[in-house]
Amino acid sequence: MDPSRRAPRAAIDPVPKFRQVGFFAPPERSQSGPPDPTHSSPPISSSLSPVMIPPPRHLSDNLLLHARPTVSPLRPDSSTAAATAGTSFDAADFFPALPSPAPSSSYSSRISGEGGFFNGGARGSGAKVAASSFPRGGFDLTAMKASVVPASELTTVSVVNDSLGIPEKEKGNKGGGSSVEVKDQSNSSKQQKPKTSKAERRALQEAQRAAKAAAKAEGNKASGTAASVNAKSAKAVKPAQKVDNAAVAASEKKGAEIPPEKDRKKDAPQPRMQYDDKSRVEKAKRRAVVKQTEARNRVELFRHLPQYEHGSQLPDLEARFFHLSPVHPAVYKVGLQYLTGDISGANARCIAMLQAFQEAIKDYKVPLEKTLVRDLTAKVSSYVSFLIECRPLSISMGNAIRFLKSRIAKLPLTLSESEAKASLQSDIVRFISEKIILANKVIVKHAVTKIRDGDVLLTYGSSSAVEMILLHAHELGRQFRVVVVDSRPKHRGQLLLRRLVEKGLSCTYTHINAVSYIMHEVTRVFLGASSVLSNGTVYSRVGTACVAMVAHAFRVPVIVCCEAYKFHERVQLDSICSNELGSPDKRACNCKRIWERTALPYTGVTIPRITKPPKMTIKMPKELTRSASLE
């Protein structure tokens, strides 16, 4: 690749630098080091950026990511994302090539071979990897897991790496004669469409082959660099073969991953149920445990969201307690508590759900002729769908469920039933303590430093994190006043107010309409969040946006407190596309919305643009109380 090409794309690509560095660089190096033929002269080490993370740990993970796009149903997404990276680079050459992962990774590797231009290359693949990681629902937890997975998987991965090497090498060769390359690429793109299904079929076979080759792979890798350099000259001759190879490589990679792959498909956030799609709603109804009567007065604007009569499910559920055999009592109890509103708040709901699952797992017995992994996953899914019927999941709960399912899927087959159950239970306990409780502690510790004597702090609704911050600051002896703003749907603020006044804080209570009246006095606004989405929007109780907006208008800094486990890769531009509808008051004609999105510009969240895939969050300081003053 000549520098003239590279420069523009580096400029164009807006992806922040740090993004690739953490996650994507290492794979590149490990894969591309060997194949990099054109610029093989600079040693691999030179391309290592100081921030890079040593490869072995992420190896598996990365390859997973690369492998994914070919297989996943969401492939169009990832390929387009890759395409954008490619087009800026050199559209003619690369666009057709992109769908198959191997070539594109090789091109980026070529760039990275040049130590000086490491970033440019890394970016290309970084963007792509990012894209491919989306469907996967790559919450940091799962990402972490990948690195921890048992040895068996690691070995298969290394095989993949090996097989990958071949096409890359070839590609590299062709880099010299770009005309040839274009031909292949068009070739490969033609094959692309039929290939997926074929590839999938082939995947199984390849997986087995891959496993066999595992041991060999280890050795190959070591000698990879030298081989590739040699190969460069030799292989330029057979472009057609290369395409084949690439396909094989892709399928092989995919094969290696089959269990997680399937698993991912399952717990990837499915396109959310759209309730204006009649056939699907019918289907869902047939499956439903709880019979819900649809609201008589459905609001046109929210047709795509479930609108049910509230309060009708509870007696129905209670009556059918003994018929709902598949639902564990603990889960059943939690579900009812959701339904009645006894448990609310993202953290509380999440913890309650996890504890119920823990109970359920404790009492779980593997049925005859079934495997624990499959059966338990199905069980958990059925619990989850029960809970969803009681009340739609919060994003934090969705993340926790995804975590649990991935833990179940990753259970080594060698474990006995009791060991597996014990490990799952301890995982759950760990999740609660690390991701929620500890996270809150860190948030409190950090946020308290933002409170000074004489401050007037405003908070909206009732956020457990904010409450802890306020109480902690009070314990530290800070002199401040709290303004609790409340609004009608639930009057959660009153509960918070009660707890604060009990502890001896001086409080002011008002309703949301008066927020513009009180905002003059306020020096800081603390808000809780249900989730932070990947486009940087904060998803929180309805009204949060109003408060943030008014604070912005009065130039008051807004601080949003959100634990990292609530982060989600979804994007949302408004609060209508996806939301949870509360119950319309009897008196009023129609619906009220519970959740709402807060536009980022108003919340002074420093998470500047979380365009980064959530994978990045793991590298960010774990708990994010991001504070910033709005300028």
Partner 1 sequence: MPDVEAHVTDFVNLLKKHKIEGSQATAKQTAELLRTVISHQRLPHTNQVTCLLNAVRAVGEQIIDANPIELAVGNIVRRVLHIIREEDHSLATAAMAGLGMSAGSDDEDDVERDDGPVLSAAAVAAAARSTLRPPSLQTLLEDVTVLNVVPPTPSSGGESEGRSRSVEKSSRGRKLKHDVIEAINELIQDITSCHEQIAEQAVEHIHQNVVILTLGSSKTVLEFLCAAKEKKRSFKVFVAEGAPRYQGQLLAKELANRGLQTTVITDAATFAMISRVNMVIVGAHAVMANGGVIAPVGLRMVSLAAQRHAVPFVVLAGSHKLCPLYPHNPNVQLNTLRSPSELLDFGEFSDLLDYSTGAGSLEVVNPVFDYVPPNLVSLFITETGGHNASYMYRLISDYYSANDLVIKQTPATGN
Which residues sit at the interface with partner 1, rule CB under 8 A? 299, 301, 486-489, 494, 497-498, 501-518, 520, 541-543, 545-546, 549-550, 553, 574-576, 579, 584, 587-593, 596-597, 599
Rounded least distance, CB 396 to partner 1, Å? 21
CA 303: distance to chain centroid?
27
Rounded least distance, CB 562 to partner 1, Å? 19
In 280-304, which positions are buried (b, 16+ CB within 10 angstroms) versus exposed (e)?
eeeebeeeebbebeebeebeeebeb
Rounded least distance, CB 477 to partner 1, Å? 12
Closest to partner 1 by CB, 79 or 603:
603
Closest to partner 1 by CB, 468 or 576:
576
Rounded least distance, CB 499 to partner 1, Å? 10
> Three-state secondary structure along 135-156?
HHCCCHHHHHHHHHCCHHHHHH
Identify whether the C-beta of residue 584 lies closer than 8 Å to the C-beta of residue 592.
yes
Rounded least distance, CB 298 to partner 1, Å? 11
Closest to partner 1 by CB, 220 or 590:
590
Closest to partner 1 by CB, 184 or 596:
596
CA 117: distance to chain centroid?
30
**Nearest to 201, CA basis, from 266, 243, 252, 136:** 252
Q: Output the six-digit token pair for 55.
A: 């490869």
Closest to partner 1 by CB, 376 or 505:
505
For 277, the 3-state DSSP assignment is coil
Closest to partner 1 by CB, 81 or 456:
456
Rounded least distance, CB 29 to partner 1, Å? 45
Closest to partner 1 by CB, 475 or 574:
574
For 476, the 3-state DSSP assignment is coil
What are the phi and psi torsion angles at 541 (to 5°)? -55, 150
**Exposure of 231 in the CB half-sphere (CA atoms within 13 A):** 21
Identify whether the C-beta of residue 393 lies closer than 8 Å to the C-beta of residue 132.
no
Closest to partner 1 by CB, 340 or 508:
508
Rounded least distance, CB 504 to partner 1, Å? 4
DSSP string, 339-392: HHTSS-SHHHHHHHHHHHHHHHHHT--PPTT--HHHHHHHHHHHHHHHHHHHSP
Cα–Cα distance for residue pair 97/77, rounded to 1 Å: 15
- Locate the DSSP E strands across 401-496: 455-460, 480-486
Rounded least distance, CB 608 to partner 1, Å? 20
Closest to partner 1 by CB, 276 or 574:
574
For 573, the 3-state DSSP assignment is coil
Rounded least distance, CB 535 to partner 1, Å? 15
Q: Output the six-digit token pair for 487.
A: 């609004």
Rounded least distance, CB 494 to partner 1, Å? 7
DSSP 302: G
Q: Output the six-digit token pair for 371.
A: 């495997």
Rounded least distance, CB 172 to partner 1, Å? 50
Closest to partner 1 by CB, 90 or 580:
580
Strand partners, 455: 480
What are the phi and psi torsion angles at 456 (to 5°)? -115, 115
Cα–Cα distance for residue pair 425/364, rounded to 1 Å: 11
CA 552: distance to chain centroid?
29
Residue 133, CA distances (Å) to 61, 136, 400, 473 in order: 10, 5, 18, 40
Closest to partner 1 by CB, 523 or 590:
590
Closest to partner 1 by CB, 137 or 493:
493
Rounded least distance, CB 517 to partner 1, Å? 4
Cα–Cα distance for residue pair 448/458, rounded to 1 Å: 14
Residues 6 or more apart in contact with residue 286 via CB below 8 angstroms: none
